[in-house]
Amino acid sequence: MAKKSKITLSEEELISALQRQDKIAAEALYDMYSASLFGVIIRIVQNNEIAEDLLQESFVKIWNSFPSYSADKGRLFTWMVNIARNLSIDKIRSKDYKNQTKNHELEINVTSIDESRNTAYKPELLGVKDLVNKLKPE
C-alpha cells in the first residue's frame, strides 16, 4: 500500500484556499496542524479517545467558522489552538465528561475487586485440587 504524502502550503496559500472553501485546503489544514492540536487537546482531557473526538470536532468547527477568521486578529494557528482549547475545556466542564470519568473509575474499582475475589476462591490456585487427587480411595 502506497503511503499518502502530506499536503503542505504556506499560511497565506492555505488561508486563501480555505476562504474559497477548497476541499484540498481542509486536507492540508489537517495534515499541517492535527498533531499540534492533538497535543494541546490531550494535555487538557488526558484521554486518547476523547482527544481524538475533540480533534475531529475542532476541525469541523474550524472549517465551518473560517469565514469569521481574520488575519488582522492573529495567526491562523493561534486561532485554531483557541478553538481546540475552548472545545476541550467545555468538554471537561460538561456533566457528560464528569459522569464518564466517574463511571470509568468505578469500572476499574469493580474489576480489581472481582479479580481479587476470583483468585481468593479458586481451590486450584491453593493446590487443594492436587492434594485431593493424591488421596487414595477408601
Q: Give the pLDDT score at 16.
A: 87
Cell numbers placing 30: 489537517
Statement to judge: residues 72 and 108 lie in one domain: no
Domain region containing 127: 95-138
* Sequence-separated (6 or more) residues with CB below 8 Å from residue 9: 17, 25, 28, 32
- Segment 72-98 shows an average pLDDT of 89
Query: How many domains is the chain built from?
Result: 2
Q: Give the pLDDT score at 9.
A: 78
Helix axis angle for 23-45 and 76-93, nearest 10°, is: 50
Is 2 a domain residue? no
Statement to judge: residues 87 and 104 lie in one domain: no
The pairs formed by 57-64 with CB atoms below 8 angstroms and a separation of 24 or more are: 57/87, 58/83, 58/84, 58/87, 59/26, 59/29, 59/30, 59/34, 61/87, 62/29, 63/18, 63/26, 63/29
Domain containing residue 12: CATH number: 1.10.1740.10
pLDDT band at 96; cut points 50, 70, 90: confident
What pLDDT digit, counting tens, does each position of 4-24 carry?
667 777 888 888 888 888 888
**DSSP letter, residue 71:** G
pLDDT band at 86; cut points 50, 70, 90: very high
CA neighbor of 33 nearest in space, from 72, 6, 68: 6
Is 109 a domain residue? yes
| Residue where a domain stops, chosen among 58, 75, 93 | 93
- Segment 112-131 shows an average pLDDT of 60
Statement to judge: residues 59 and 120 lie in one domain: no
Statement to judge: residues 21 and 84 lie in one domain: yes
What pLDDT digit, counting tens, does each position of 38-72 carry?
999 999 998 999 999 999 999 999 999 999 998 88
pTM for this structure? 0.66
Cβ burial of 35 (10 Å; 0-12, 13-18, 19+) is exposed
Residue 31 has pLDDT above 70, yes or no: yes
